[in-house]
Amino acid sequence: MKKLLLLTAAPLLLAAQASEPNATPQTPSDVIAASTAEDWRPVAPNNLLIMTLGSGDEVFIELAAIFAPVHVTNIRNLARAGWYDGISINRVQDNYVVQWGDASERKPLPETVDRSSPAEYDFAMTESHIAGFEDVQEGNYEPFSGYLEGWPVAHAPREDGQRSGTLIHCYGMVGVGRGNNPDTGTGAELYTVIGHAPRHLDRNIALVGRIVEGIGALSSLPRGTGPLGFYEEAEQRVPIATIQLASELPKEEQPSFEVMRTDSDAFRAFVHARANRTGWFIRPAGAVDVCNVNLPIRRAAAD
Amino acid sequence: MKKLLLLTAAPLLLAAQASEPNATPQTPSDVIAASTAEDWRPVAPNNLLIMTLGSGDEVFIELAAIFAPVHVTNIRNLARAGWYDGISINRVQDNYVVQWGDASERKPLPETVDRSSPAEYDFAMTESHIAGFEDVQEGNYEPFSGYLEGWPVAHAPREDGQRSGTLIHCYGMVGVGRGNNPDTGTGAELYTVIGHAPRHLDRNIALVGRIVEGIGALSSLPRGTGPLGFYEEAEQRVPIATIQLASELPKEEQPSFEVMRTDSDAFRAFVHARANRTGWFIRPAGAVDVCNVNLPIRRAAAD
């Protein structure tokens, strides 16, 4: 018999639900299956980057425009200018990050790029933010870690009595490389997380998005053998053919994704199901790390 | 200027320490540099597996004999019998696990393998365990998560008044695939974690070790496109040439590793330094997840 780590007991559970039509869905898959169109929000085309590697593999990135507006504007302008086309992946550090940019460090930036971006490492939580925040995990790194408008967010009190929010470095989140202060990065150099959440980076660097599909093309790249996982030889670098903004493509060519709304009962049921696994599991954990929720993201159905 | 995520300020800090000879080391690297031979324990040769892939890449695994003795005995016997030689990696699921075993599911097990291993998913914490436990993180998944005898361990009260300990599914930990109860797995089918710690597996399956070197050869494999990340075609499977126990090799050919002792002041200083990063960091986290400690493991110096 094949030893699986996860054996789902879906038929059994569906049968149980059939006899109790109002029962809470039991598995994460059940929750997704039971969700309605209102439980999902679209990824806006001007927040969707399509990175095409030299191999033809595609990676799709949703930009967090609401939390890092200046950096996201820069990234859109870099994509529109074709600036990213022909750059490369230069660093793959195991259990940490994949990083890409201009290896020559000489490619001139377009005029449209703000070279003195503010440090968008955190933001003031508004009343509306606090109302929309879905708490998942308390007391590790930050008092509260959960989801806000479909993004992993932590928040803590500030000295001025307001609350300070920050995006969280979960697996697949995308950020902007930076040097020392006061250089906060332009968006020309980007990275994504390919390991256990390095939350010591939270509040220290600008997160600007997350990979919504195709991360395997990055996380499976050969690890760099130089310091910090940089490739040591130019020919080891992985060419990037293009990075395009979906909104710049003809409408019929725009890929279309949906994210589960995190202020929905569906999301609450999903988190509960992730924390209380059934079937193969003997002892449900009863809790789930904010970065182990695995927020549902899917291709939108064709119109 | 190259944008690094991590710019260490080592020279500056070393200068600062020079003027304060008794100051606590400031960076994780400083702590390792300041450690003494007594701060490390060797990896015993009969707890060290050497997995050689068909490509020639080597992966080194330390077995946690103290926490899963029956499964570890099975694994040693399978290695001694050459049973693993010629099996393959059959599953690579992004942000989750790499799994290897006999894809044919027909290879007979040697007589020396216990086919009814107990469920070594947790263990009773002894007085000595409690004394040797180094707490790192409280309140997420388990009341206490830290390190015990060089291993990531969580513990919680049991109904009988004792405490129940369990190994933690951090990145690089190795476990034994199993089917449904009461099959607990023999050790013939193994997996390792290549993503954010799936702690919902803790207490549900037997962890038996961790990768001490070479995980990049597994984490960089192409992701499987079948359900649960299984490879869909036989030719996609990655051949394993051999898995050998170091103690079966001639002494001069035995690789030699050391793990930082987790009941040492050096380890406490290391955890503190990981939680309070300096240099490039603007706002130290002040905390560290048990799976983001990155316990120091190194090749032992030659005799």
Predicted confidence at residue A22, as pLDDT, reads 47
The CATH code for residues A44-102+142-255 is 2.40.100.10
| In contact, B90 and B126? CB cutoff 8 Å | no
Predicted confidence at residue A301, as pLDDT, reads 80
Predicted confidence at residue B22, as pLDDT, reads 46
Identify residue A197 by its one-letter amino acid code: A
Q: Which of B92, B171, B202 comes nearest A196 by C-beta?
A: B171
Q: Which of A3, A101, A216 comes nearest B101 by C-beta?
A: A3
Q: Which one-letter DSSP state was computed for residue A44?
A: P
- Cα gap B296→B276, rounded to integer Å: 17
pLDDT score of B61 more than 80: yes
**Sequence-distant (≥ 6) Cβ neighbours of residue A46 within 8 angstroms:** A65, A76, A245, A246, A247
Provide the 3-class DSSP secondary structure of residue A56.
coil
pLDDT score of A279 more than 70: yes
Q: Which one-letter DSSP state was computed for residue A20?
A: S
Given an 8 Å threshold on Cβ–Cβ distance, is A285 in contact with B121? Answer: no
Predicted confidence at residue A13, as pLDDT, reads 30
| In contact, A291 and B212? CB cutoff 8 Å | no
Size of interface A-B (CB pairs under 8 A): 168
**Comparing B162 with B244, which gets the higher pLDDT?**
B244
Predicted confidence at residue A159, as pLDDT, reads 85
Residues A245, A251, A252: CA angle, nearest 5 degrees: 115
Predicted confidence at residue B184, as pLDDT, reads 85
Query: How far off is chain A from B283, nearest CA to CA, in Å?
Result: 6
Structure tokens at B303: 């005799």
Given an 8 Å threshold on Cβ–Cβ distance, is B220 in contact with A216? Answer: no
Average pLDDT for residues B68-72, to the nearest whole number? 96
pLDDT score of B222 more than 70: yes
Predicted confidence at residue A17, as pLDDT, reads 36
Given an 8 Å threshold on Cβ–Cβ distance, is A139 in contact with B140? Answer: yes
Where does residue B186 fall: left (phi above 0), alpha (psi -120 to 50 degrees), or beta otherwise? alpha
Q: Which one-letter DSSP state was computed for residue A24?
A: P
Cis bond upstream, residue A250 (ω within 30): no
Going by C-alpha positions, the residue among B95, B2, B295, B214 that lies closest to residue A230 is B2
**Percentage, residues of chain A above pLDDT 70:** 90
Given an 8 Å threshold on Cβ–Cβ distance, is B289 in contact with A94? Answer: no
- What is the tens place of the pLDDT at every residue in B114-171? 988 888 999 888 888 888 888 888 778 999 999 999 999 999 988 888 889 999 999 9
Average pLDDT for residues A100-117, to the nearest whole number? 94
pLDDT confidence band for B25 (50 / 70 / 90):
low
- What is the tens place of the pLDDT at every residue in A184-216? 899 999 999 999 999 999 999 999 999 999 999
Query: How far off is chain B from A89, nearest CA to CA, in Å?
Result: 13
**Comparing A129 with A303, which gets the higher pLDDT?**
A129
Mean pLDDT lowest among A111-120, A174-183, B76-85, B164-173: A174-183
DSSP state letters, A177-220: ---STT----SSSEEEE-SS--GGGTTTS-EEEEEEE-THHHHT
- What is the tens place of the pLDDT at every residue in B171-194? 999 999 998 766 789 999 999 999
Q: Is B109 exposed, middle or buried (0-12, 13-18, 19+ CB in 10 A)?
A: middle
DSSP state letters, B19-63: HSTTSPP-SHHHHHHH--GGGEEEPPGGGEEEEEETTS-EEEEEE
Q: How would you list the strands of the sheet with A163-167, edge to edge?
A: A123-124, A163-167, A151-157, A142-148, A134-140
Structure tokens at B127: 């007085």
**Average per-residue pLDDT for chain B:** 90
Contacts of B74 in chain A (CB under 8 A): none
Rounded to two decimals, the pTM is 0.91
Which residue pairs, CB below 8 angstroms and at least 24 apart, start in A65-68? A66/A149, A67/A120, A67/A123, A67/A151, A67/A153, A67/A165, A67/A167, A67/A207, A67/A208, A68/A120, A68/A167, A68/A176, A68/A206, A68/A207, A68/A208
pLDDT confidence band for B4 (50 / 70 / 90):
very low
Structure tokens at A108: 């001139």
Query: How far off is chain B from A56, nearest CA to CA, in Å?
Result: 15
pLDDT confidence band for A230 (50 / 70 / 90):
very high
DSSP state letters, A153-175: EEEEE-TTSSEEEEE---TTEEE
pLDDT confidence band for A9 (50 / 70 / 90):
very low
Average pLDDT for residues A129-154, to the nearest whole number? 90
pLDDT score of B279 more than 60: yes
Which residue pairs, CB below 8 angstroms and at least 24 apart, start in A250-255? A254/A45, A254/A48, A255/A48, A255/A50, A255/A60, A255/A299
Average pLDDT for residues B82-110, to the nearest whole number? 97
- Cα gap A45→A49, rounded to integer Å: 8
Most A CBs within 10 A among B196, B223, B230, B294, hence the mutation to make, goes to: B196
| In contact, B163 and B157? CB cutoff 8 Å | yes
Average pLDDT for residues B41-69, to the nearest whole number? 98
Predicted confidence at residue A303, as pLDDT, reads 52
- Cα gap B46→B61, rounded to integer Å: 11
Predicted confidence at residue A160, as pLDDT, reads 85
Phi, psi angles (nearest 5°) of residue A265: -65, -30
3-state helix, strand, coil in chain A (%, to 5): 25, 30, 50
Q: Which of B3, B138, B195 comes nearest A171 by C-beta?
A: B195
For chain B, domain boundaries:
1-16+26-43+261-303, 44-102+142-255
- Cα gap A146→A293, rounded to integer Å: 9
**Average per-residue pLDDT for chain A:** 90
Phi, psi angles (nearest 5°) of residue B222: -60, 140
